[in-house]
Structure 1
Amino acid sequence: MKLANHKTIIYMVYAILTVLILNTKSMAQDSKVYRIAKIQVDSMQLDKYKTALNEQMSTAIAVEPGVLSYYAVSDKKVPSHITIFEIYASNAAYNYHIQTAHFKKYKETVKNMVKSLQLEDVNIILSSKKPGL
């Protein structure tokens, strides 16, 4: 009888530890900030805008550990409609990012190029990619 109880207790401890580990991993993922920026750029200034965006993105990735990735794409039919998918390690990382000199320089540089900006916070619900990407 004691052996059965001992096995039950071990199983319960194992189950509890598994749940705690999975929840910890889940909570770590949840701390990331996923944001989509939808930007309409003055089409006459699109090349200047892309240059400023590239400088800001490259600098942020190089010098800010909390800026994890950027993906900037444009609409094939309307290239001045830009969508950026941004991933930050946390809210603190994002808040730090928007206070940096390179981000403020970008905002000042593009202020007369951007016709509209819409920011959306999103959650990752699924992800699938080739190994190594």
Structure 2
Amino acid sequence: MKFIKSAFTILALIFLTYSCGVQNKMKTTTPRDEMLIRISEIKIEEQYLEEYIKILKYEAEASVRLEPGVISIYPMFQKENPTEIRILEIYADNEAYKAHLETPHFKEYKSSTLNMVESLKLIDMEAIDGETMSKIFKKLE
């Protein structure tokens, strides 16, 4: 009888531990409907292009590495026109975006590239298939 009680107690503890672990994992995933997704369309003055790209690469890498709420800051340029920059920005939610705007690396990027930007357009987007994102962006798991 003692053995059955002990076995039951151990099984109950395993079950509780597993249940808590699953709940914690669920809490750390990003709800797809709360994400802020944006494409930034930026036109850079040609004489500043090399310097701008250097600054942008640093800012994008630091944002993804240092900020848990930044899912993607993925810069790219048009092959035929490299002064036409596009950035895919994905944030866990609006609060993550607001926090991003207050980081030293973003403020440095913004202030040091202000005179390099000819035009800037921010386009808010909505995901068509948010469920597939976790396969692409491992940070969402």
Q: TM-score, normalised on structure 2?
A: 0.70
**2:63 is aligned with 1:63:** no
Alignment partner, residue 127 of structure 2: 124
The Cα RMSD (Å) is 1.9
Alignment partner, residue 114 of structure 1: 117
Residues 60, 74 of structure 2: 8 Å contact kept: no
Select which of 22, 34, 37 maps to 2:37.
34
Question: C-alpha offsets along residues 27-75 of structure 1, whole Å, 9 cap, x if unaligned?
Answer: 9211011010000001111110000001111111111100111221111
Residues 38, 125 of structure 2: 8 Å contact kept: yes
Q: Distance in 2 between matches of 1:59 and 1:49?
A: 15
Displacement, 1:98? 0.5
1:8-47 to structure 2, matched below 5 A, reads 28-47=31-50
Q: TM-score, normalised on structure 1?
A: 0.74
Unaligned stretches of 5+ residues in structure 1: 1-26
Q: Percent identity?
A: 37
More helix by share: 2
1:77-96 to structure 2, matched below 5 A, reads 77-96=80-99
Question: C-alpha offsets along residues 68-123 of structure 1, whole Å, 9 cap, x if unaligned?
Answer: 11221111111100010111000000000001111000001100101000001100
Indicate the SS of the match to 1:84: strand
Which residue type is aligned with residue 122 of structure 1? M
Which residue type is aligned with residue 110 of structure 1? T
Unaligned stretches of 5+ residues in structure 2: 1-29
Q: Distance in 1 between matches of 2:129 and 2:68?
A: 24
Q: Distance in 2 between matches of 1:61 and 1:70?
A: 7
Q: Distance in 2 between matches of 1:42 and 1:78?
A: 12
Q: Which runs of 4+ in 1 moved over 4 A?
A: none
Which residue type is aligned with residue 81 of structure 2? V
